[in-house]
Amino acid sequence: MVNKRYRVNNKNIRNTNVLRSQHGGVNYTVLVAALTFIAYITVRVLTSGNVATVGEEIKDLEQQRVSLQKDINLLQTDIAKLSSIATIEKKAREDLGMVNVDSSMKFVDASDLSRQLAQN
């Protein structure tokens, strides 16, 4: 009777082993689940390092954005100053040597001049 119990117990032990199938091979469902879990953990560990890197990049880009916005504001101020009529007139007189137009100046229409020359 002891032998029968031993056989029954041995059979029960073999049936409760989750890593073995009924035929004595490895249970592929458990193996796939274990590999999936390992892959999941690996991805989580690798992406946690990337999150820190992305956070640093976001900070750097935010600083660049603030700096560029300051530059834009300065350039808009310069545009406003340089676009004024007084500044344009000053640059024209000083840098380009232009003069104000007097009312005593007369303009000649080139079409009238060519007609007069044709008649003579």
Residue 93 in any domain: the answer is yes
C-alpha 65/C-alpha 93 separation (Å) is: 39
Residue 118 in any domain: the answer is no
Question: Model confidence over 67-109: pLDDT tens digits?
Answer: 999 999 999 999 999 888 888 888 888 998 888 776 666 766 7
Residue 60 in any domain: the answer is yes
Contact criterion met (CB below 8 Å) for 64 and 57:
no
**What pTM, to 2 d.p., does this model score?**
0.40
Residue 6 has pLDDT above 50, yes or no: no
Residue 37 in any domain: the answer is yes
Q: What domain range includes position 7?
A: 2-97
Residue 105 in any domain: the answer is no
> What's the structural domain count of the chain?
1
Residue 77 in any domain: the answer is yes
What do you get for the CA distance between the two ends of the chain, in Å?
149
Residue 106 in any domain: the answer is no
Question: Model confidence over 37-77: pLDDT tens digits?
Answer: 999 888 887 777 666 677 888 999 999 999 999 999 999 99
